[in-house]
Amino acid sequence: MEYVIEMLNITKEFPGIIANDDITLQVRKGEIHALLGENGAGKSTLMSVLFGLYISEKGKIKVRGNEVKIHNPNDANDLGIGMVHQHFKLVHNFTVLENIVLGVETVRGGFLIMDDARAKIVNLSKQYNLRIEPDAIIEDISVGMQQRVEILKMLYRENDILIFDEPTAVLTPQEIDELMKIMKRLVEEGKSIIFITHKLNEIKAVADRVSVLRKGKYIGTVDVANTSKEEMSEMMVGRKVIFEIAKGEANIGDNVLTVRNLSINSKVHGKSAVHNVSFDLRKGEILCVAGIEGNGQSELIYALTGLLPVDGGEIYYKGEDITHKPIRYRNSHGISHIPEDRHKHGLVLDYTLSENLVLQTYFLNEFQNKGFINFKSRLTNAKKMIEQYDIRSGEGPITLVRSMSGGNQQKAIVAREVEKDPDVIIAVQPTRGLDVGAIEYIHNQLIKQRDMGRAVLLISLELSEVLGVSDRILVMYEGEIVGEVDPKEVTQQELGLYMSGSKRGAGYERKETSE
């Protein structure tokens, strides 16, 4: 069997950690080879070694059977290796065309010649069915199209080994389907693809073989067709993972949070970021607000938690109008908030774990006496929460939060917010960037809170999470709620239509802008 890429016995160490420990990856010509592993398993390091961003201490790389040394991305490019990074590397105020030729421009007599490039790009986009608008500015086009520009960049450079680093993280379901088609088409044309992901459905959908890494070690390579999702996830996590989120029927109680005609003016554009939003949140349910990023979910949450002033409408909490109440009033009266950006809002990274665990309660009599900090009760509190919520860190309560892993930082926030004994828990993308184990933990916590009779408002971009965890789904599009659906009845595809604004639910029809 002919291998287009062979990475043999690669070892890469960083101070204090072995990121890649004797890893072997063999990619056949013309296959889609998935690279599966949790966060921190060493996928990115391995690809960085292949792409010349890191040099490995041990092991060798063979490309098309010849041993090579790759010192920098230019070497990789010369060998025909291209990469679509998770965060696109595009110049935002350049056109699509300019971005594609950037670095390999055709120049004649000191002048930039775009005509040849344009012709070649138009041909490529037809050949691979990659729809683009050559003269559009990057910041005006959709994320999906930006990704196609990245793919065209590789094709324009005549790369035939393509690395996709978690390409679906930023896409809607429809865009994901399209990407899968594009990937298959690329392979038909003789390209080879390395597909980095931790989503098993996508591997099942497109990949031929999958190599699994766990904690820097190589676990094995298997054929996708003969391997179940459960087997793959067991290889990835090292234990059995339950996919179906186990949850009983919701036991729904009274209204706790009532939002009426809430509107917030946008800071960026003239329209409103949140427009006339109304809903009720009841005890014992998980209500999910789904939507593509940037459709007003963040502003809605900021308004509910008091971080952003409201321009119209009311918010009632247990019957009391809290529309203009300060943040501390809300977070000390039973509204907990697991924020979207844990580094910006959730934690003071240069404070210790014990300090962060009392970030909203340090002023209570339990933790202070006439303004002097009660260090003893702070420590007891931290030890209790660390134990109860299994927060792992280097030095326990005195660990600087900055040095903790993302999953444990999130556990610390969850612990702090849940321990306040709230009536409402607002969780915004609580599993973003976490690995399977931590995601499972957070989901179980949310359901546990629901079963204890608390109301959970979940904001999520992850459809499997939206469908798996919630009891009721509201979809937000351009600042408005465009539909309410039952997670038991709706499909991912249908939800995608709501999210992209192509469909509206009964009772949520677009109102004529007569006002």
Residues of the shown chain interacting with other proteins in the complex, contacts defined by CB under 8 A: 305, 307, 326-329, 331-332, 337, 339, 344-351, 355, 359-360, 362-363, 367-368, 371-373
Rounded to 5 degrees, φ, ψ at 286 are -105, 110
Closest approach of other proteins to the CB of residue 329, in Å: 8
CA distances (Å), 181 to each of 175, 177, 188, 232, 268, in order?
10, 6, 11, 23, 35
Decide whether 99 or 305 has the Cβ nearer to other proteins.
Answer: 305
Decide whether 165 or 340 has the Cβ nearer to other proteins.
Answer: 340
Is-contact 10 49, C-beta < 8 A? yes
Decide whether 284 or 339 has the Cβ nearer to other proteins.
Answer: 339
Nearest to 315 by CA among 360, 273, 277: 277
Decide whether 91 or 348 has the Cβ nearer to other proteins.
Answer: 348
Closest approach of other proteins to the CB of residue 52, in Å: 27
- Here the tokens at position 85 are 């990074």
C-alpha 447/C-alpha 250 separation (Å) is 9
Is-contact 195 171, C-beta < 8 A? no
Closest approach of other proteins to the CB of residue 481, in Å: 25
Nearest to 268 by CA among 290, 289, 301, 298: 298
- Here the tokens at position 429 are 């993308």
Decide whether 69 or 267 has the Cβ nearer to other proteins.
Answer: 267
Closest approach of other proteins to the CB of residue 380, in Å: 17
C-alpha 137/C-alpha 98 separation (Å) is 9
Decide whether 354 or 470 has the Cβ nearer to other proteins.
Answer: 354
C-alpha 96/C-alpha 495 separation (Å) is 30
Closest approach of other proteins to the CB of residue 401, in Å: 10
C-alpha 266/C-alpha 147 separation (Å) is 27
Amino acid 195 reads F
Decide whether 332 or 444 has the Cβ nearer to other proteins.
Answer: 332
C-alpha 443/C-alpha 173 separation (Å) is 22
Closest approach of other proteins to the CB of residue 419, in Å: 14
- Please tell me whether residue 266 adopts helix, strand or coil conformation: coil
Closest approach of other proteins to the CB of residue 373, in Å: 6
